Amino acid sequence: MENFILIVLAISIGYLFNRLRIFPEESAAILNKFVIFISLPAMILLQIPKLSFSMEFVIPIIIAWSVMILTAMITLAVSNLLHFTKEITGALMLVAVLTNSSFLGIPLINAYLGAEALPFILVYDQMGTFLALSTYGIFVASYYANKSEISFQVMAVKALTFPPFISLLIALFFINTPFPDTISNVLSALADTIVPVALVAVGLQLQFRLPRHEIQPFGMALFIKLIISPLVALAVVSMAGWTSLAASVSVMEAGMAPMVTAGAMASLYGLAPRLTSAIVGYGILLSFLTTAVLFKLI
């Protein structure tokens, strides 16, 4: 129960502080950078070495990419069928496909499945969502915004220099190698900041404006992200016969709200920023209900 209280309280604090203008406008970006450069790398270094190379390690990767590929195809097909503009299609290809696997995934799944789920959350997040953000996300944003040529070199550099990804590569060298207590305690203290800091940042970024002409793409994006995505994950798990914790974590991750960073990328590239903010904001609130239902199904 305390985990849910923390989630609601931290998001509410961020939203209230934003409304009262207690923090400067760039506060959310600064807090997100703190999480990306410090909190998340520390958690990765702390948790990934606890994994063993096995099928359990591969399950989150398979499910993450299966869900993203299929939902991207669905999003593109429906966008073309409904004749959405290129700007809106590009926005939906980001926020309807990429999941909030760390900022919300970590505290919510920890609340449902316990701390032992953390290593699998991080595998799904780093080898799935954030790797996709650094490759697929950059490609989509660049293509639909038409601001620059697509360069494999640029995408590779962005992916390889992404701090959590660097931490993941380092952590893989320490699989099954325990750190000294001093290092573990320091990493643990830094990793513990991810939940309150990230969720306050989410609250600071919540936007609820929704013009009438954007209702159709808004509803489609949330339906794909919160309903279709976890159903795809459940189908993959069912067909493969997976019943482990790794499978349960992956299904829950697939059903998380739209990725805040994907919304920020869409806004940065001028892809329907008002619409993407609404999708991310309402998606976070609705995901509390949909993930509760999803948890009952796994």
- pLDDT of 230 reads 97
More confident residue, 237 or 151: 237
Is residue 178 scored above 70 in pLDDT? yes
- Of 111-115, 242-246, 255-259, 286-290, least confident by mean pLDDT is 111-115
Output the six-digit token pair for 120.
């699998």
- The C-alpha atoms of residue 152 and residue 170 are separated, in whole angstroms, by 24
Is residue 266 scored above 60 in pLDDT? yes
Amino acid at 236: V
Residue-by-residue DSSP string for 50-80: G--SSHHHHHHHHHHHHHHHHHHHHHHHHHH
Long-range contacts at 287-290 (CB < 8 A, ≥ 24 apart):
287/100, 287/104, 287/108, 287/226, 287/255, 287/256, 287/257, 288/108, 290/226, 290/227, 290/230, 290/255
Contact (Cβ atoms closer than 8 angstroms) between residue 203 and residue 37: no
Output the six-digit token pair for 103.
């900022």
- pLDDT of 1 reads 62
Mean pLDDT calculated for residue range 72-101: 95
Contact (Cβ atoms closer than 8 angstroms) between residue 259 and residue 141: no
Mean pLDDT calculated for residue range 89-112: 90
Output the six-digit token pair for 154.
């640029």
- Of 25-34, 91-100, 225-234, least confident by mean pLDDT is 25-34
- pLDDT of 147 reads 57
Residue ranges per structural domain of the chain? 2-297
User: What percentage of the chain reaches a pLDDT higher than 90?
Assistant: 40
Is residue 167 scored above 80 in pLDDT? yes
- Using CB atoms within 10 Å of the CB of residue 179, give its burial: 0 to 12 exposed, 13 to 18 middle, 19+ buried: middle
Identify which of 44-53, 150-159, 221-230, 278-287 has the greatest average pLDDT.
Answer: 221-230
Is residue 151 scored above 70 in pLDDT? no
Output the six-digit token pair for 57.
């390690």
- Of 29-33, 116-120, 145-149, 247-251, least confident by mean pLDDT is 145-149
Taking the alpha carbons of 88, 198, 165, 174 in that order, is the dihedral positive or negative?
negative
In whole angstroms, how far apart are CA 218 and each of 56, 103, 152? 35, 22, 31
- The C-alpha atoms of residue 157 and residue 201 are separated, in whole angstroms, by 26
CATH topology of domain 2-297: Na+/H+ antiporter like fold (1.20.1530)
Is residue 284 scored above 70 in pLDDT? yes
Is residue 72 scored above 60 in pLDDT? yes
**Tens digits of per-residue pLDDT, 20-53?**
999 998 888 888 888 888 988 898 898 878 776 7
Is residue 148 scored above 60 in pLDDT? no
What's the whole-number average pLDDT of the chain? 87
What confidence tier does 150 reach under pLDDT thresholds 50, 70, 90? low
Mean pLDDT calculated for residue range 49-65: 85
The DSSP call for residue 125 is I
- pLDDT of 236 reads 95
